[in-house]
Structures are given as C-alpha cells and as structure tokens.
C-alpha cells in the first residue's frame, strides 16, 4: 500500500446550486455545494447547510425551499450569493423571482433548472442541518430539453472543489452508464 | 414566466463513487451517485442507497463503509460495480483491497482517493436509506496532491447524469470561489 494518510477533513467535488427560501416574507438566496438526491420514489433531495446561516430560518418558517441550477455564465451572481448574508444584505432583487405550487419557495427565472421542494425531514448534525425535501415540481426552459428531459450539457452546471476554491464546468463525455461495464463483465464470466 | 413544468422526478448531476463494505467478512463494492458532504466539523458524508441493495447489509453489520473515487480511466470497472449485485457475484477480487483504522471498510488501492467512514446516523426514507458517516481517514497517492491537498483535476473524477445515463469528466476551470462574486458586490454597493 503506497497511499498516504491525508487526515479526515477532505472535501469531495460538489455541484453548486442556489437555494431559495422566503425569510419573513422576503426572498433570500444562498449558494450551496452540499446537495444530493436521496430517495427515488417519491423523489427527494437533501441539502446540508451550516446552522449559522440565514436561509434555514425561512426553510423552517415555510417548510419549503427551492433549488436553482445556475449555468456557468451565472458564476458571478452565484458566488455573490455565497459571499453576502441575507442577514445584512437584501438579495431579493438580484434575480427575477417566480413561485410555483408551494407558493413560498422563490425560484430564479434566469436559472436553466429550478425545483421547488417541501421539507419532509430535518436531520440535526453537529455543525450543519440536513434538510430533506420532496421535489414538488421542476421547471426549465424548452431550449435546455433534449427528448423532453433536461440536458445538463446544455444547462452547463457549475461544479466546485475545495480547498482550491475553484468553480469548474462539466467536461467531456466519457461513456454510457449501465453499459460500458458489460465489457468487463464479459471478460470475467 | 416562460418556464415549462417538467414534473417532479428530475435527476441532478452526480459524482460517481464506489462504496465498499464487508458483507459477512467479504469485501463488496457498489457504484453510488447519491453522495454529499453533510457536516463540517466533524467531517461527515451522506450516501443514499436503495434498500434492495446488498451493500447496506455490510454497512449495518460493521457500522463502517468506504468511499472510493475512481478516475475516469476506471469507468469500465466502476460501471461493472453498478451492474452486478454482490448477492450473486463475488466482487472482492476486482480490485486490490486495503484496510485502514476502522479495519472493516475495504478500500480500493487503484482509486486515486479513498475514505473510510464510521456510521453516525441512518435515515430511513421510503425507498432508500441515507447513511451518514464520519470520515475517519482519507488516503491518496502523492501524485494526486498539490500543496499537500488532493487535486481533483489530477484525480479526474467521474460525473454522471440521468436519464441519458452518461458519465462525464470534470471540465474547464471557470472562476475562483468567494472571489469572483466580489465584482458583482462592488457594482451593487
């Protein structure tokens, strides 16, 4: 074993989204890198947010939040949402805001893909809260669809790595999933 | 609002890892796309796994699991781990396996980055289980380090999108985080 021990506080590549919530009736947005799908049926997402942040107040207030996927061309505004806190700065006018079925999850018109979620479970961890939300509805623009489904090569989402604190685009196509491994399967049977 | 409603079952871009667990004393590996960091201190990850899978048996048995990041050149074996179940196929010999401090989380020597985790919380969701694990130790090879930290441009992790079922590489550098947004901040002050 030639591997070196690099401690335990190692960050993994992240997808960058803008989470929206109404705090005391006003739309607020924050950049979030800790997100994953967590349940197949019904479809659920989880987002991990530091307890000190302002946005969780609105998520707890309305039991809803939005997840908005900025295109790489929106990197300035996305990063801004991660730099300034809604506690001190009004972020309700940065984007064109729209609402869907939940009525209380502010979504971003400029983002190629938006989802409104209702909170189904809250997991209290030492420094962060994990909000598990059921996806109520997702919205996109027709130009980001291929065969009626969102096409992430067109959406051009932002990725993020730490501690180099860098944003990245999604890169080249590598292979087809649930397919390319069949070659290895055949070799080993 | 020109957005179209595309239902609620929309997948978001994923990072592909190989999760390892010992099931009844034998190393087993599965491809997992639902993963995120969830807590800052102590460092914790969450992985979402369908309840029908074999690997959760081992995670529950030992209360440990590993998270291994395959480079894009490992796509065949990674996909294979997502195609065949440990219930029917012995996957313990596919990789060179090593163990760390937990002794029961099998890690993959060929993967540029490996982490061993101990389970701190299990969230039971309708179709999936969310295992929240504290990162005990992470391991890499010196060639993947820049300034002593894992460099994901060198690690070359695999990304994954559905329903096109495609693997992607990480792409071009876009901008510096907690920095590029300062331009927008200055314009708006």
DSSP calls for B54-109: SHHHHHHHHSEEEEEE-BGGGHHHHHHHHHS-TTTS--TTSS-EE--TTSSS-EET
Q: Is the pLDDT of residue B92 over 80?
A: yes
Task: Please indicate whether residue A99 or residue B184 has the higher confidence score (pLDDT).
Answer: A99
Question: How far is residue B116's CA from residue B108's CA, in Å, rounded to a whole number?
Answer: 11
CB–CB contact A83 B181 (8 Å): yes
Instruction: Classify residue B164 as left (phi > 0), alpha (psi -120 to 50) or beta.
Output: alpha
Over residues B76-96, the mean pLDDT reads 95
Give A94's strand partners.
Answer: none
Determine the average pLDDT of the residues in B140-150.
Answer: 95
pLDDT band per the 50, 70, 90 thresholds, residue B173: very high
Cβ-based neighbours of B24, under 8 Å, separated by 6 or more: B57, B58, B61
How far apart CA B179 and CA A121 sit, in angstroms, is 33
pLDDT (mean) for B88-92? 94
For residue A126, the model assigns a pLDDT of 97
| A:B CB pairs within 8 Å | 331
ipTM of the complex: 0.96
Residue A178's φ and ψ, nearest 5 degrees, are: 55, 30
* Among candidates A12, A37, A78 on the partner chain, residue whose Cβ is nearest the Cβ of B37: A12
- What integer pLDDT is reported at residue B106 of this predicted model? 98
pLDDT of the residue at A185? 84
Can you give the pLDDT at residue B52?
93
Mean pLDDT in chain B?
96
DSSP category for residue A13: -
- pLDDT digits 0-9 by tens, B37-69: 999 999 999 999 999 999 999 999 999 999 999
Task: Concatenate the DSSP letters of all residues of B138-162 into one string.
Answer: EEE-GGGEETTEE-HHHH-BEEEET
* C-alpha to C-alpha distance for B150 and B144, rounded to whole angstroms: 6
Regions in chain A scoring below 50 on pLDDT = none
- Cβ distance of A98 and B3 shorter than 8 Å: yes
Is B171 strand, coil or helix? strand
Token readout for B118 is 């101990």
Closest CA relative to residue A115, chosen from A35, A26, A12: A35
Angstroms from A134 CA to nearest CA on chain B: 9
pLDDT of B185 > 90? The answer is no
Which of B67, B151, B164 to mutate against chain A (most A CBs within 10 Å)? B164
pLDDT of residue A76: 97
* Average pLDDT for B130-147: 97
8 Å CB contact between B161 and B14? yes
Q: Residue B129: which pLDDT band, with cuts at 50, 70 and 90?
A: very high
């Amino acid at each position: 074993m030639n591997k070196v021990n690099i401690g335990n506080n190692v960050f993994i590549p992240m997808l960058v989204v803008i989470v929206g919530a109404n705090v005391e009736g006003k739309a607020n947005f924050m950049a979030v890198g800790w997100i994953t799908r967590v349940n197949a049926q019904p479809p659920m997402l989880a987002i991990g947010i530091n307890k000190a942040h302002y946005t969780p107040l609105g998520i707890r207030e309305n039991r809803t939040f939005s997840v908005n996927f900025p295109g790489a061309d929106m990197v300035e505004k996305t990063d801004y949402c991660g730099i300034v806190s809604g506690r001190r700065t009004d972020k309700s006018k940065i984007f064109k805001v729209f609402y869907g079925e939940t009525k209380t999850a502010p979504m971003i018109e400029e983002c190629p893909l938006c989802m409104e979620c209702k909170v189904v479970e809250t997991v209290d961890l030492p420094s962060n809260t994990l909000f598990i939300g059921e996806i109520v509805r997702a919205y996109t623009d027709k130009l980001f669809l291929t065969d009626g489904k969102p096409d992430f090569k067109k959406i051009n989402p932002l990725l993020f790595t730490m501690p180099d604190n860098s944003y990245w685009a999604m890169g080249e196509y590598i292979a087809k999933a649930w397919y390319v491994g069949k070659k290895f399967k055949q070799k080993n049977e």
